[in-house]
Amino acid sequence: MDFQPSQLLPRVMKTLVIGLGNPILGDDGVGWRVAEEIARKTADRPDIEVDCVSLGGLSLMERLTGSERVILVDSIFTKKEPVGTVRTFLLDELPDLSSGHTTAIHDTSLRNALKVGRSMDIPLPRDEDVHIVTVEAENVYNFSEILSPPIEAAVPHAVNAVLDLIGAGKGDGYDIS
């Protein structure tokens, strides 16, 4: 029996962190800001890949191809929480929005896009391996490269939520607060 030392090492799941939104639409740029901080704080982690995109639905599904675990960071506008509230969801806990800010008339929700992709045998993460970190916002259509004060104040909390999800939380020396 051939034995390889690498067989003894625990397998590390690679994580893709994506900041969603548009950095020139005010608070809609919060996902990018959080992703940029995550990239800076995890630069020494080969198991973490970070990207910033302005995609949704099918295009976002294509970007997730080959990923094992994904953390999406985005603004959300529900009017149910105070502006700046940071929340973490699994994909199946998030409403399956079929229209609105994250999809276009010729596109679909991420959940539906992943279902379609899997039906075509595209290697995609399982729903339970897709986490979403949101920041409640309201100024997501105003042209500005500046986050409003409540959203700016929420960035460290969202960064810590992502770091906790990837196992690099405050206890690992990554606290930015």
Q: Which amino acid is at 95?
A: P
Residue 79 CA to residue 57 CA, distance in Å, equals 23
pTM (two decimals): 0.84
In tens, the pLDDT along 18-53 reads 999 999 999 999 999 999 999 999 999 999 999 999
Task: Find the largest Cα–Cα distance for the chain.
Answer: 64
Q: CATH topology for 11-172? A: Rossmann fold (3.40.50)
Where do we find the tokens 């992502």? 162
Residue 39 CA to residue 44 CA, distance in Å, equals 9
In tens, the pLDDT along 123-165 reads 999 999 999 999 999 888 889 999 999 999 999 999 999 999 9
Q: Which amino acid is at 56?
A: G
In tens, the pLDDT along 100-117 reads 444 454 568 888 899 999
